[in-house]
Structure 1
Amino acid sequence: MTTDHGYRPSVPDVVFPCLDEAGALPQVLPRLPAGYRAIVADNGSTDGSAQIALDLGATVVTVPQRGFGAAAHAGLEAATADVVCFCDADASMDPAQLPRVAGPVLAGEADLVLGRRRPTRRSAWPVHARVANTALGLMLRRRTGRSLHDLGPMRAGRREALLALGITDRRFGYPLEMVTRAADAGWRIVEVDVDYAPRAEGTKSKVTGTVLGTLRTIRDMREVLAR
């Protein structure tokens, strides 16, 4: 349902931060649940990702400022639905599972829902990334006082409330700052299990694919926790 002003109150928009995901998008976008709208926030792809997303029916937002958070926030700003989901564009997460993440927000039972990743294969989550996520989960629990375990990229919240959080990080600290600010604001934050699979063949993670990428992510998140 769409209002005269383009506002879509019942069916979520889904933000896909994207950097060179041409090999994954054809696997990801067709798996969106009926009615969910894909917003691909292209962060400088050079492999034709933007055109592939357009051909698959997605709305494409060009984001000149580099950084995961810059892409995610630009997608949030471009959304018109009341509820907005976020999902990686690398085929490691199944968009068909988005209703289990968006459901508690749509039902008014939660303000922010985080998809707790459950690997479908050991290769889905490299050891260095698993260790880093465990450490970050511990820091997150200490910081927020909430029983949270994962900063999984599949999540959902209400657009206007998310924008009102005033998130400033535009790098890999963006997902963490969203949670810390939501916790500080007294939001109801819950986790639901979602599958976590190996990335699409021929693609490489900017975060967990290398030890350097993981260390860079930890650095950004430590900066958020230090604020």
Structure 2
Amino acid sequence: MTDQRDQPPATTVDVVLPCLNEAGALPWVLSRVPAGWRALVVDNGSTDGSAEIARSLGATVVAEPRRGFGAACHAGLLAAEAEFVCFCDCDASLDPALLTGFVRAVAAGEADLVLGRRRPSGPGTWPVHARVGNAALSRMLRRRTGTRLRDLGPLRAARRMALLSLDLTDRRSGYPLQMVVRAADAGWRVREEDVPYLPRTGRSKVTGTWRGTWQAVRDMRAVLAEPPRAVPSASAGGVR
């Protein structure tokens, strides 16, 4: 008998999967999306047939020609219709099946935003320059908001209407951080869960090099420099 705790929550969930040339990873990623959930693959200008592969595997494909991680994520959020929205990288470094517990925590009112704290599965899985940049941003986030996080990982879940209320504006690498900053400003309960971080398929478009990592850090420092703004709480407007 299957343990009920392993079953996806009985609710509607959309999973946003930003995608730029991830043909090699898509079959595994989409096979791991929990049954009954909708996979929204946001094609950010792929040239390797990613969009066609995603469609053939049953995913809903959203086209976002404007390049940028944030642009792809936000296009997916705007296309989502479910009560709960999850985000996951599309490079097979993170397992979408782990999101069931994230959604369950949000649905139960235990947290407003749940993030995965990446735990490398082996040497070389998470390059040193990427870990250094992530640690620096975590410290800056703590100084700016008081929120103590050890990672700003892309595996996350929250309620769709609450996410829309954050009015996220970054369309580059700062999008994930801006989500956390504005959530913290609104008094959201932000929770981390340890998740395995697997060797990615293909080369990272953001943190694959020192240059890409520090460009991402610059984007995120700009987000941290924004003054606090009034944001509705996660429970405002009947979203919980």
Secondary structure of 1:50's aligned partner: helix
Number of equivalenced pairs: 217
Q: In the alignment, is residue 77 of structure 1 matched against residue 78 of structure 2?
A: yes
State the AA in 1 paired with 2:53. Answer: I
CA contact (8 A) 1:100 1:192 kept: no
Q: Mind listing any 5+ residue stretches in structure 2 that lack a counterpart?
A: 1-9, 227-240
Counterpart-to-counterpart distance in 2, 1:108 and 1:57? 31
The residue number in structure 1 matching 2:111 is 110
Q: CA RMSD in A?
A: 1.0
Deviation string, structure 1 residues 183-225 (Cα, Å, up to 9, x no partner): 001111111111101102xx11012211111011101001101
CA contact (8 A) 1:112 1:156 kept: yes
Secondary structure of 1:133's aligned partner: helix
Q: Mind listing any 5+ residue stretches in structure 1 that lack a counterpart?
A: 1-8
Q: Give the fraction of aligned pairs with identical amino acids, expressed as a percent.
A: 68
Counterpart-to-counterpart distance in 1, 2:81 and 2:89? 19
Superposition pairs of residues 1-227 of structure 1, within 5 angstroms: 10-200=11-201, 203-227=202-226
Secondary structure of 2:147's aligned partner: coil
CA contact (8 A) 2:138 2:148 kept: no
Counterpart-to-counterpart distance in 2, 1:196 and 1:11? 26
CA contact (8 A) 1:17 1:41 kept: yes
CA contact (8 A) 2:26 2:92 kept: yes
Counterpart-to-counterpart distance in 1, 2:211 and 2:56? 34
Secondary structure of 1:61's aligned partner: strand
Secondary structure of 2:71's aligned partner: helix
CA contact (8 A) 1:40 1:53 kept: yes
Counterpart-to-counterpart distance in 1, 2:221 and 2:101? 30
Secondary structure of 1:161's aligned partner: helix
State the AA in 1 paired with 2:54. Answer: A
The residue number in structure 2 matching 1:6 is none
Secondary structure of 2:61's aligned partner: strand
- Structure 1 runs of 4+ aligned residues shifted over 2 Å read none
Counterpart-to-counterpart distance in 1, 2:124 and 2:28? 19
State the AA in 2 paired with 1:29. Answer: L
Shift of 1:100: 2.1
Counterpart-to-counterpart distance in 1, 2:131 and 2:153? 12
Shift of 1:34: 1.4
Secondary structure of 1:177's aligned partner: helix
Secondary structure of 1:124's aligned partner: coil
What TM-score comes out, normalization by structure 1 length?
A: 0.93
Counterpart-to-counterpart distance in 2, 1:121 and 1:33? 26
Of stretches 51-60 and 106-115 in structure 1, the one that deviates more from structure 2 is 106-115
Shift of 1:11: 2.6
What TM-score comes out, normalization by structure 2 length?
A: 0.88
Counterpart-to-counterpart distance in 1, 2:102 and 2:88? 11
Counterpart-to-counterpart distance in 2, 1:159 and 1:127? 34
